Amino acid sequence: MIKPLTSLRFLFALMVFGSHLQFFDAEKYPDFNRFYTLVLSEGFIGVGFFFILSGFILSFNYDERLLSREVTFREFWVARIARVYPLHLLTLLLGLLLMLYAPEDGVAFTADLAASLVKLFTNAALLQAFVPNMAYYFSYNWPAWSLSDEMFFYFAFPFIVFLAVRNKLLLRFGWVLLAAVPFIIQLSQEENFHQFFYINPFFRIVDFLLGILLHQVYKHAYARRAFRSRPGATLLEGLSIAAMAVALYFHNDVPKVYRFSCYYWLPISLVIFSFAYQRGYLSALFSAKLLVFLGEISFSFYMIHQLIIRYLTIENSQRQVITDSYVMAAICFILSLGLSYVLHKYVEVPGSRYVRHRYRTSSFARQPLAEVAA
């Protein structure tokens, strides 16, 4: 485990949470609206961070083990399924129950039952991000669309290792893929920007490949000398955070399609790369037990938070119990955080262990499944 990067997962999950606080009235809460416009509206960069970090961490944990056959393709895929599916299926069920509970959504579900079931099964199989239709990729538990992308990345990862990492092809020519995205944007229709450049796995895999490429630079120690001293490493960590702050400050000057895809690549990469060395004082700060713990439950937090926001918004619109949006936001956060701990402890971790155990004891297992940190 790289502790600072684990902690950063929660901070970026918190940005995603903030981007979903859309019940604030702009006229009644002008200060929040300004902060939302400057920072929280860009909370979707948390997804880009997760994709890039996923490529980095999987490469860090697995590429040598796959190349040496210590871990087989099948074992890798089972470990990834075990990591994702128990929590995904539970939150999908909760999303279905919430849809049936919401007055308008419940009527829409039964009005066209066949279409609703197709969407449900597409979500269950984590294929919704491949369908360029918001009714599919933003259905049931909406944040799960990113898991659809991640599962595609997980399937591709062993092939990427053998075809592009082992022979350093990605290290030498990865820049071609990075340059291709803005080029393709220029030749695409604006109405397709969100569904392709933000949602679709075939384009978002470039984020994942960037994370793998970043790890190759890290592994081959091309910049290790810059992180030898603690003051120097701290300076570089601070500069990476400053780069992220500058990118956020000037985001309104950049078309949204680039912010969906490539605009934040550089600051996110600098943050991941600088904190991966764990050499500076800021890394030490982000290695604190509480922050690492929050990072460990960040997946559960990410998967449950919008269901909580949607449920409380529906309830409050009917009962008008909470009149202050700041109080509403605080309740959403506290409930999301508390439930994320429960889900992590009683669903995410034991569910992953159960799936791996079932695989080890099945006829599909050739050898014991390697225990590798997620």
Tell me the pLDDT tens digit for each residue of 195-246. 999 999 999 999 999 999 999 999 988 888 899 999 999 999 999 999 999 9
Residue 373 has pLDDT above 50, yes or no: no
Of 197 and 107, the one with more pLDDT: 197
What percentage of residues in the chain have a pLDDT greater than 90? 86
Residue 363 has a pLDDT of 77
Residue 142 has a pLDDT of 95
Residue 362 has a pLDDT of 85
Residue 321 has a pLDDT of 87
Residue 369 has a pLDDT of 47
**pTM metric for this prediction:** 0.94
Whether the CA torsion 4, 257, 303, 121 is positive or negative: it is negative
* Rounded average pLDDT over 154-167: 96
* Rounded average pLDDT over 295-318: 95
Residue 372 has pLDDT above 50, yes or no: no
Residue 366 has a pLDDT of 61
When the pLDDT of each residue in the chain is averaged and rounded to a whole number, the result is 93
Name the residue ranges covered by the structural domains of the chain.
3-360
> What would the pLDDT profile of 318-368 be if each residue is shown by its tens digit?
888 899 999 999 999 999 999 999 999 999 999 999 999 999 888 777 655
